[in-house]
Amino acid sequence: MNIPNLKFNTQSQPEFLKELRSRVNKHFKDNNISKYANFNMKFKTFFMLSLYFVPLILMLTGVISSLGWVLFMWVLMGFGMSGIGLSVMHDANHGSYSKNKKVNKVLGFTLNFLGGYHKNWIIQHNVLHHSFTNIDGYDEDIETPAMRFSPNQKRKKLHRFQAFYAPFFYAIMSIYWFVSKDFQQLVRYNKKGLLSGQGLTFPKALTQVIIHKIWYAILLIVLPILLVDVLWWQSLLGFFIMHFITGLSLALIFQPAHVIEETEFPVPDENSNIENNWAIHQMRTTSNFADKSVLFSWFIGGLNYQIEHHLFPKVCHVHYKKISKIVKETAADFNITYHEHKTFFSALKSHFTLLNQLGTGKYDQKLAKA
């Protein structure tokens, strides 16, 4: 696989990650706990899959037929779709759901039922985002023409208003994913040699994407139009409502974990070197939020513990809350900042404040004065 040639500084406090891993491993060993899914995770999997598929079945079989209830079913599917994306397929495609690779593969494939392509997601998220968090030109999670997510990106006149139009682009994110993004990524990843790492050639990957898009469109667009007793445009409206809920949910959970005022956006030097080692880089580019919100954390797949997720992506998210105490204590022992917001709304405020500063140039002015 042709991974971008960036080099982290292995001499920068290497003992931090070694000690942290030792403490976390000790936690699982002393408590005789598996790092993979427990009963809570399995119940959540059943719940999220049901929240997505049961409403669809009720509509297609005619059990639900009135417009109000049909639209409500699409709303439920939007939350189910979000839950699968944030919890089930996310852990599975990280290999943290089960030590059985077949289980991870099957549950990871559920992304295709959401309109995406699981192999592209693995490249974008696991390979690029987790390896090169917040590094412009490498982390695709902070790259989009309509937005400026990093001070290292060129500021355009349009960006001045990005804090206001961002929710719209967030809402259409999963629709864009379904319609266009996967095809664009295939071309880009093929040029970078990243498809081969997933055992794919470009023709094979393109064929798979086309096939998955077709059956998804039949299942979620064509069949509801044909079988549900509402007007065709009302079914389409429901489909878009589902995706709007999902797009907003995914964006508003992931963005406040990395693109906020406190996090950093490192720049490689002329020799493609990063200042810190990988673990400290993750600490400086990632932030937690809402650690006291039990139900909220449950629904969003523990991704409010984003620091723990980035440091231990092979650990199922149901364990993040407990190991977060270990990470926080270890970071303090090594004098490493542990970014966190007490509430989700505080993290959101920081995200949109940064968007405004990046769009208006105020962030650049602060950097110039620093």
DSSP one-letter string for 65-116 = -SHHHHHHHHHHHHHHHHHIIIIIHHHHHHT-S-S-HHHHHHHHGGGGGGT-
User: Under DSSP, is residue 147 helix (H, G, I), strand (E, B) or coil?
Assistant: strand
Taking only the tens place, the pLDDT of each residue in 307-353 is 999 999 999 999 999 999 999 999 999 999 999 999 999 999 999 99
Q: What is the pLDDT of residue 366?
A: 85
**β-bridge partners, 273:** 7
Return the amino acid letter for 94.
H
Mean pLDDT to the nearest integer, 145-163: 96
- Is residue 351 exposed (0-12), middle (13-18) or buried (19+ Cβ within 10 Å)? buried
pTM: 0.95
Copy the structure tokens of residue 304: 């409010």
Mean pLDDT of the chain: 96
> In which band, very low, low, confident or very high, does the pLDDT at 2 lie, cut at 50, 70 and 90?
low
Copy the structure tokens of residue 62: 């005619």
CA distances from 253 to 145, 244, 289 (A): 21, 14, 10
**Of the candidates 303, 189, 173, 224, the residue with the CA atom closest to the CA atom of residue 55:** 224
pLDDT at residue 126 above 60? Answer: yes
CA torsion 139-145-146-151 (nearest 10°) is 50
Q: What is the pLDDT of residue 4?
A: 60
**Of the candidates 27, 19, 25, the residue with the CA atom closest to the CA atom of residue 322:** 27
Copy the structure tokens of residue 155: 């500021």
Distance CA 370, CA 356 (A): 19
User: What does the chain come to in residues?
Assistant: 370
First-to-last C-alpha distance (Å) of the chain: 39
Distance CA 48, CA 117 (A): 19
Q: What is the pLDDT of residue 314?
A: 97
Mean pLDDT to the nearest integer, 100-114: 98
Taking only the tens place, the pLDDT of each residue in 63-92 is 999 999 999 999 999 999 999 999 999 999
**Of the candidates 302, 314, 312, 356, the residue with the CA atom closest to the CA atom of residue 155:** 356
β-pair type (143-144, 147-148):
antiparallel
DSSP state, 155?
P
Taking only the tens place, the pLDDT of each residue in 34-48 is 999 999 999 999 999
pLDDT at residue 235 above 70? Answer: yes
Contact criterion met (CB below 8 Å) for 358 and 309 = no
pLDDT at residue 3 above 70? Answer: no
Which residue in the block uniquely carries the two structure tokens 């959540």? 44
DSSP state, 141?
G
- Residue 248 main-chain phi, psi, to 5 deg: -65, -45
> In which band, very low, low, confident or very high, does the pLDDT at 1 lie, cut at 50, 70 and 90?
very low
- Residue 214 main-chain phi, psi, to 5 deg: -65, -50
pLDDT at residue 175 above 60? Answer: yes
Task: For residue 190, count other CB atoms closer than 10 A to its CB.
Answer: 17
